[in-house]
Chains A and B, each alone.
Chain A
Amino acid sequence: EVQVVESGGGLVQPGGSLRLSCAASGFTFSSYAMSWVRQAPGKGLEWVSSVTNTGGGTYYADSVKGRCTISRDNSKNTLYLQMNSLRVEDTAVYYCAKFGSGSYLDYWGQGTLVTVSS
């Protein structure tokens, strides 16, 4: 059974940093691109970042470019999102999601809540 489980969320002050992790199982992690998608309270989904299966290609939304870094460790079946210079508007549930064979997200985690507040 495919599973992706996020961790690392929590309360952080504006300007602070946080590292999210996503543990994957049930599929060959190194064969699939992965992505982070977030959802602010009461708002819609926002794509944040994606990484190719090898980690050689990374892509970011303009809203996080320069402040976030996506990475993966295929030996540990784990995806990461390093978030720096956090802003109040970064408050959201962050979902880890697996790409299918094409440009769609076929499995999603349950999300981890990041709250940026003083």
Chain B
Amino acid sequence: QSALTQPASVSGSPGQSITISCTGTSSDVGGYNYVSWYQQHPGKAPKLMIYDVSDRPSGVSNRFSGSKSGNTASLTISGLQAEDEADYYCSSYTSSSTRVFGGGTKLTVL
């Protein structure tokens, strides 16, 4: 049950787009379309942003989008805003019927 691999940090200026990658294996990310992404502000509970690779829950801005290629999933945030500054985590279902999270990525809006 190794954690999925995410960059420790990414940054961008307001209005720009950024992409966060999430790399796993064929036993998790690559094997299922069950990747989800969560946003967490300091001291707060995580919030679901993307599920099933690319679907958005109601109420989540369409500036957030997800995709997957092989064993790597990606979260793209377009039109960066100050309130997007947070930690982002990917998660995947695994072949053992368990779940695994990525190590998290700190997004800084410059």
Please list the residues of chain A having a beta carbon within 8 angstroms of any beta carbon in chain B.
35, 37, 44-47, 50, 57, 59-63, 95, 97, 100, 102-106, 108-111
Contact = CB atoms under 8 A, between A and B. Distances in A.
Contact of A45 (B1, B46, B96): B46
Interface of B: 1, 3, 32, 34, 36, 38, 40, 45-48, 51-52, 57, 87, 89, 91, 93, 96-104
Contacts of A35: 99
Contacts of B45: 95, 108-111
B56 to A, nearest CB: 11
Contacts of A62: 1
Contact of A102 (B40, B51, B104): B51
Contacts of B104: 44-45
Task: Select the residue from B48, B57, B93 with max chain A CB neighbours within 10 A.
Answer: B48
Residue with the highest number of chain B CB atoms closer than 10 Å, among A60, A102, A103, A110: A103
Contacts of A60: 98
Given A47-B101, A102-B34, A104-B36, A95 B93 contact: no
